[in-house]
Amino acid sequence: MSPNSATLSPIIEVDQANFQTEVIERSKTVPVVVDFWAPWCGPCRMIGPVLEKLATEAKGAWILAKLNTDENQSLAMQHRISGIPAVKAFLGGKVIDEFVGAVPEPQVRKWLAGFLPGRADELSAEAERQEQAGNYSAAMLGYRNALAEDAEHAGARLGVGRTLFAMERFADALTELEQVPFGGMARAEAEGLMARARFRLEGGPDEAEIRARHRVAEHPDDLVARIALARALAGRDEYRDALEGLLAVVKRDAGEHRDSARQAMLDIFTALGDAHPLCEEYRPQLAAALW
């Protein structure tokens, strides 16, 4: 099979010349399962047809790459092949799972399911495309369908919350985002959105800012009003002005107002994300003011 025709098939042959392109690079966009085999190997002739059948059924969801170890001994050594058939799954340019020997088809299916995208993943990915296009109703439906497949799907739950936030349904967004499972990147994004949602919910940004400005104008030493004004500004995404106001309170007060202002600054850092330039600018200033 030629390299050109390989790109059109879920089953390809690889060797030293095309392994980098067809396995390592391709695995950065789709899982690639490499079957290390040899013509003389009896178990290889058993597992090979099983893998080929499943790859054909998958219709491109993953690629089966067959490598003759007799003809590519250096690759076999490089990948520490000590027994065949050896089957390795590549994703993102790296081996993510493997097995050795001719295992039954049900066991191979279970092995594949451990790293292949499931129905919930597919629905969530399509919903995210709709969300990015601004089709929020379609996105919500897609995310809900994904959650119907997998109630613990972190990406879908985050997507629901993110879409509700974009629709300015901040209370509903907060409810959904609080359900994003802990321990992953989805939760980190959820925390930032939750902080932003809470700022938006604090009385309505316009009204809260007007009240706080009047209070500060009438009572310049009212630190509670200054903190309220800063939080209202954060609700309008005016984060620099908010951080400046809160930092001034931290520097000015050593008691409970300092703690409230410090916490508000931390909430803004969470809303923006650690890599945001304002976080990099104001986090050291907050630390210096506290010490």
Pick from 123, 107, 125, 116: nearest CA to 31: 116
Question: Where do we find the tokens 């985002």?
Answer: 177
Rounded CA-CA distance 50/99 in Å is 14
What pLDDT, in 10s, does the model give residues 240-254?
A: 988 988 888 888 877
The pLDDT of residue 203 is above 60: no
Least confident stretch, 140-144, 177-181, 218-222: 218-222
pLDDT in tens, 32-45: 999 999 999 999 99
Among 41, 160, 216, 230, the one annotated catalytic? 41
Residues 44, 156, 160, 232: which is the catalytic one?
44
Termini Cα distance of the chain: 69
Q: Identify the pLDDT of residue 278.
A: 92
- For residue 209, the model assigns a pLDDT of 63
**Model pLDDT, residue 7:** 47
Q: What percent of the chain has pLDDT over 70?
A: 91
Across all residues in the chain, what is the average pLDDT? 87
Residue 212 pLDDT = 66
| Residue 279 annotated to the active site | no
pLDDT of residue 183: 77
Active site residue 41: yes
The phi, psi pair for 3, rounded to 5°, reads: -60, -35
**Residue 131: its pLDDT value, please?**
94
Ordered structural domains, the chain, with CATH: 3-113 (3.40.30.10), 119-201 (1.25.40.10), 205-290 (1.25.40.10)
Question: Residue 3 pLDDT > 60, yes or no?
Answer: no
Q: Which of 16-30, 45-59, 96-110, 265-279 is predicted least confidently?
A: 265-279
Bigger pLDDT: 67 vs 275: 67
Q: How would you write the chain as a 3-class SS string? A: CCHHHHCCCCEEECCCCCHHHHHHHHHHCCCEEEEEECCCCHHHHHHHHHHHHHHHHHCCCCEEEEEECCCCHHHHHHCCCCCCCEEEEEECCEEEEEEECCCCHHHHHHHHHCCCCCHHHHHHHHHHHHHHCCCHHHHHHHHHHHHHHCCCCHHHHHHHHHHHHHCCCHHHHHHHHCCCCCCCHHHHHHHHHHHHHHHHHCCCHHHHHHHHHHHHHHCCCCHHHHHHHHHHHHHCCCHHHHHHHHHHHHHHCCCHHHHHHHHHHHHHHHHHCCCCHHHHHHHHHHHHHHC
Mean pLDDT over 30-59 rounds to: 93
pLDDT tens by residue, 90-126: 988 999 899 999 999 999 998 988 888 788 888 999 9
The pLDDT value given to residue 211: 67
pLDDT at 105: 93
Residue 213 is predicted with a pLDDT of: 66
pLDDT on residue 8: 62
Residue 249: the pLDDT is 87
Summarised one tens digit per residue, pLDDT across range 143-178 is 999 999 889 899 999 999 999 999 989 999 999 999
Checking if the pLDDT of 201 tops 90, the result is no
